[in-house]
Each structure stands twice: as structure tokens, then as C-alpha cells.
Amino acid sequence: MRNTPVYENILIVGGGLIGSSIARACREYGAAARVVMTDRDTAVRTSLRGLDICDEVSDEANPADADLVIIAVPPGSIADTAKALLLHMKPGATLTDVGSVKADVVDNIAPHLPDGIEFIGGHPIAGTEQSGPEAGFASLFTDRWCILTPADAQSAAAQTLEKFWQALGSRVEFMDAKHHDLVLATTSHLPHLIAYALVGTATDMETVTRGEVVKYSAAGFRDFTRIAASNPIMWRDVFLQNKDAVLDVLGRYIEDLTALKKAVRWGDGDTLLKEFTKTRDIRTRIIDAGQDSPEPNFGRDVAGEED
């Protein structure tokens, strides 16, 4: 469906998976009249020009005409990018980002906001394990949640940004930045850390070869490798920025894992069965909420691809 443009002029800074998907979605759903993109990497700019997914690819980030500026760079570069952009943005414009950690960014940018410009933290809960401008697609945000962390959810800027994400197909939720970071530490950051650690452990075993790990990965391991294939720079930044919340949930997790370890050591089948049974409920709820596919094995057909 096409929408009336929510913004006249948008500047997207950063042409990776998320930035390029926003540009594609803007065009597909008519969410903005004009979209300019930029990226500090020459090769990415060249790719973006070849992909033809926006109205202009600019060598420099020039936000002077933009009604909305979207920062889609790795979390560790967001605050510095924001400070540079704020020097040249026009009054009444909105600055937002798409980073996975919110409180750190909000706290860092707030002191640098000129009168008349609002910064609203944003985080589309969408993505894949792939990176770069070619990996993006227009429907990435369709029916996914986008969390916004405005200082004032009732402000005109927040309401307009909500309409923009809805135009891209998202469901929007306003949330306190610190609470966002704790929720995502649980549902995203901890799962990624766990997966990275497991892939490291499995590849470092001296009694099991890497060939064996690869060969018999279908028994569970392969799902973790997908998660652990995500953009390493982005994830480094996430853990540096969301340290406190990650250490909190990670501490709890190690406690729970240690309890299971003790049950294994003592042959305590009752405890194991109880723990393994209670986890089924949440899976059912996730499928009912449309947040995952009910198909077994995510419906993947690996064997078929080899034929």
C-alpha cells in the first residue's frame, strides 16, 4: 500500500542492512517524498548508487534540508555522528537512530541538542544475520515492533515519527530508554552472547574436530551459528554500551545454567524434567503472537537445496 508521505525530506546516514532497508521501505510504501542517503564508506556509497533505492546518494552528510535524519551506523558511532549532524540541522527537524541500545545514546546526545530539534531514540526489532546494503529489503519491518524512546511521547515529533514507522509496516511502542535496554538485554543481547560463546567453545574443542562440528551441526548447534554470524562490530558496541543490563541478566543466566549443571551431575531427573517442561509454554505464546513460524525447524528444507 502507498501512504501520503509522512516527511518531505529524509536523510539516512549509514547504508547497511537497516539503513538500506529503510530506504527501500520508504520507496515501497511512500513514507517520504524524498530520501537522501550517505555513508562514510566509499564502497557502500557505490553499492547504494548501483542499487538505486533512494533519490540521491551524497558523499557528505548534509542534513540542512532534512525533516528527519536517521542515524543507521554501529551503536558506538551514533553519538559522535549525532553531534556532527546537529550542528547543521534545521529548526523543527527530528533526529533519530536505529541502535540496539538506547540509554547511553540518549544520555550522550541530550546535552548537545539545540532548541527546536528533538532527538528520539529508535530501535526497530528487525534484522537478519546478514550485513551491508545488498542484504536489505523493503519488508524487513513489516509487522515487526519498533521501540521509540522519546522524552515526551505526546510531542508532535514523537507522534510523527510513530506514523513514519507505521508507514514502513511496523508496530510502534513507546518505552523508557533504560527499560528498553533491560528488555533487549534479555531477549536479544544475552542470546547473542550465549551463541557467540557456544560457537567459540565448540570450535576450540581439541577432542572433537571442526569437521565433526560442521557435519553434525543439524542437531542443535547450527541455529546458534546463525545468530553468531551477526555483524561483529555492531555487537561489540552493544555490549560496551549496555554493560550494566547485560551483566545483570548474564549473572542470572549463569546461576540458572549452574543449577542445571548440578542437576546433571547429581542425576536429578525430576529437576531436569521440570525445567525442560516449563519452557514449552513461552514457545507457544511466541508463535501465537506471530513472532515466530510454527513450522518445524523454521520450515527450512536444507536437503532440498542440495538436489
Confirm or reject binding of residue 135 to its own copies (CB under 8 A). Answer: yes
Confirm or reject binding of residue 204 to its own copies (CB under 8 A). Answer: yes
User: Is there a contact between 38 and 59 (Cβ–Cβ < 8 Å)?
Assistant: yes
Closest to its own copies by CB, 94 or 230: 230
Residue count of the chain: 307
Quote the least distance from Cβ 125 to its own copies, whole Å: 5
Closest to its own copies by CB, 45 or 144: 144
Confirm or reject binding of residue 88 to its own copies (CB under 8 A). Answer: no
Residue 112 CA to residue 83 CA, distance in Å, equals 7
| 68-71 and 171-174 beta bridge pairing | unpaired
Task: Give the interface segment with its own copies, choosing from 33-41, 102-110, 137-145, 154-162 (CB under 8 A).
Answer: 137-145
Binding mask 5-44 for its own copies (x = CB under 8 A): ----------------------------------------
Confirm or reject binding of residue 264 to its own copies (CB under 8 A). Answer: yes
Confirm or reject binding of residue 80 to its own copies (CB under 8 A). Answer: no
Closest to its own copies by CB, 45 or 123: 123
Q: Which helix (H) or strand (E) holds 70?
A: strand 68-71
Quote the least distance from Cβ 148 to its own copies, whole Å: 14
Nearest to 228 by CA among 265, 254, 256, 202: 202
Closest to its own copies by CB, 43 or 254: 254
User: Is there a contact between 25 and 51 (Cβ–Cβ < 8 Å)?
Assistant: no
Cα distances (angstroms) measured from residue 204 to each of 5, 200, 261? 52, 6, 21
* Phi–psi pair at 119, nearest 5 degrees: -105, 130
User: Is there a contact between 103 and 151 (Cβ–Cβ < 8 Å)?
Assistant: no
Closest to its own copies by CB, 59 or 256: 256
Confirm or reject binding of residue 130 to its own copies (CB under 8 A). Answer: yes
- Out of 59, 80, 107, 129, the only residue in the binding site for its own copies (CB under 8 A) is 129
Cα distances (angstroms) measured from residue 268 to each of 186, 253, 258? 27, 20, 13
Confirm or reject binding of residue 107 to its own copies (CB under 8 A). Answer: no
Task: Give the interface segment with its own copies, choosing from 33-41, 65-73, 156-164, 179-187 (CB under 8 A).
Answer: 179-187
User: Is there a contact between 165 and 147 (Cβ–Cβ < 8 Å)?
Assistant: no
